[in-house]
């Protein structure tokens, strides 16, 4: 299988390395920065000039779209027209405009498509999802999803103020940290946006959204609360689910997920190294996608599912009131 990775930033480099380690895979890498050539070739990955016409002559089977968010849609449409199966980094796009064209191209070509959702492959959220699906919590009532981190520490080798994350149009914490919106819809059910409040990342010298509180209704009236920020110095990530018969929580720093029964006692706990791995979830995510390509089965987070999550994110950005 010939796979082209479009974009060799931090996430593109990660995907390229993980793919190159898989059997029966040939990896091509493209980036508009020719300075990436030496780095990728030193890793044993073939680097092409950033020329899509030349890429299509290579006839890749799959395209991994890992360019800046503003370029996701155009690159995905171009790849779909060439008949390439698509793995698109999150967020799917920065607007819904043009997504109909992408979905039509994928449908007409019979393409497998998946939008990145690596947190679904982390053992912690996966345990909560299993307990919910098994009915261990009873009727769902509430879910709280939180992530907090520090944007300048994301890519220490680059100036965060020049990154796409800093862009008021295509960056900001709501689009960049869309994983929590995805987890909420995955665990609680499809989301209906209710309200949002944001604070700009002014302490980082940015005008884009740096902290957001988003409220949604999920499934049959479940309340979802999502907190996102990239202004917090210490990294935090956690999920809490409340049901009529019990509750469950996971915290990435504690490294464990716990299920509590109707008496408030721990009924099941999952902990250990599997809850701490970072690269492993990206590897499992890509294997899941490639298995779907080979079998033509439907993977996690197809275009339609990711589009619904993107719609909530865009609604949260558009409707957000400033905290006074």
Domains 2-111 and 118-278+301-322 share a fold: no
* Per-residue confidence (pLDDT) for residue 284, from 0 to 100: 95
* Per-residue confidence (pLDDT) for residue 276, from 0 to 100: 60
* Per-residue confidence (pLDDT) for residue 322, from 0 to 100: 60
Rounded distance, CA 215 to CA 211, Å? 14
* Per-residue confidence (pLDDT) for residue 155, from 0 to 100: 86
Q: Which residues contact 267 (CB under 8 A, 6 or more apart)?
A: 136, 246, 259, 260, 261
Rounded distance, CA 116 to CA 131, Å? 23
The CATH class of 118-278+301-322 is alpha beta
Looking at the chain, the number of H-run helices and the number of E-run strands are 11, 15
Instruction: Looking at the chain, list the stretches that DSSP marks H as alpha helix, in order from N- to C-terminal side.
Output: 10-20, 36-42, 52-57, 72-81, 99-109, 123-133, 151-154, 173-176, 179-188, 279-295, 303-319
By three-state DSSP, how is residue 124 classified? helix
- Locate the domains of the chain by residue range: 2-111, 118-278+301-322
By three-state DSSP, how is residue 150 classified? strand
* Per-residue confidence (pLDDT) for residue 273, from 0 to 100: 57
* Per-residue confidence (pLDDT) for residue 271, from 0 to 100: 86
CATH number of the structural domain 2-111: 3.40.50.720
Verdict on whether the full-model pTM lies above 0.85: yes
Decide if 295 contacts 143 (C-beta within 8 A).
no
**pLDDT tens-digit profile, the chain (324 residues):** 999 999 999 999 999 999 999 999 999 999 999 889 998 998 899 999 888 999 999 999 999 999 999 999 999 999 999 999 999 999 999 999 999 999 999 999 999 999 999 999 999 999 999 999 999 999 999 999 999 999 999 988 889 898 889 898 889 999 999 999 999 999 999 999 999 999 999 999 999 999 999 999 998 899 999 999 999 999 999 999 999 999 999 999 998 999 999 999 999 999 875 566 688 999 999 999 999 999 999 999 999 999 999 999 999 999 986 654
* Per-residue confidence (pLDDT) for residue 43, from 0 to 100: 87
Q: Which residues contact 191 (CB under 8 A, 6 or more apart)?
A: 181, 184, 185, 216, 217, 218, 224, 308, 309, 312
User: By CB neighbour count within 10 A (0-12 exposed, 13-18 middle, 19+ buried), where does 206 fall?
Assistant: buried
DSSP 233-295: EEEEEEEEEEESS-EEEEETTTTEEEEE-TTS-EEEEEESGGGT-SHHHHHHHHHHHHHHHHH
Rounded distance, CA 273 to CA 256, Å? 9
């Amino acid at each position: 299988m010939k796979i082209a990775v479009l974009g060799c930033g931090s996430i593109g480099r990660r995907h390229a390395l993980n793919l190159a380690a898989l059997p029966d895979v040939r990896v091509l890498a493209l980036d508009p920065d020719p300075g990436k050539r030496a780095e990728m070739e030193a890793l044993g990955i073939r680097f092409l000039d950033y020329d899509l016409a030349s890429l299509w002559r290579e006839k890749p089977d799959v395209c991994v779209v890992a360019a800046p968010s503003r370029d996701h849609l155009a690159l995905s449409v171009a790849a779909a027209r060439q008949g390439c199966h698509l793995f698109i980094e999150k967020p799917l796009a920065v607007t819904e405009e043009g997504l109909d064209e992408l979905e039509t191209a994928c449908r007409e070509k019979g393409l497998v498509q998946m939008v990145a959702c690596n947190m679904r492959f982390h053992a912690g959220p996966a345990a909560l999802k299993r307990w919910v699906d098994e009915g261990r919590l009873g009727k769902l009532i509430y879910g709280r999803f939180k992530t907090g981190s520090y944007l300048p520490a994301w890519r220490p080798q680059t100036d965060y103020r020049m990154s796409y994350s800093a862009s008021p149009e295509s960056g900001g914490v709501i689009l960049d940290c869309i994983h929590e919106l995805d987890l909420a819809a995955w665990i609680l059910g499809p989301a209906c946006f209710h309200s949002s409040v944001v604070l700009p990342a002014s302490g980082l010298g940015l005008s884009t959204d740096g902290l957001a509180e988003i409220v949604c209704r999920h499934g049959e009236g479940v309340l979802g609360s999502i907190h996102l920020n990239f202004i917090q110095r210490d990294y935090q990530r956690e999920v809490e689910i409340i049901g009529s018969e019990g509750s469950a929580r996971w915290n990435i720093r504690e490294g464990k997920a716990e299920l509590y029964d109707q008496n408030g006692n721990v009924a099941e706990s999952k902990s250990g190294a599997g809850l701490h791995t970072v690269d492993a979830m990206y590897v499992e995510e890509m294997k899941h996608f490639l298995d779907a390509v080979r079998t033509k089965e439907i993977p996690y987070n197809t275009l339609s599912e990711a589009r619904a999550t993107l719609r909530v994110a865009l609604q949260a950005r558009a409707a957000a009131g400033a905290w006074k």
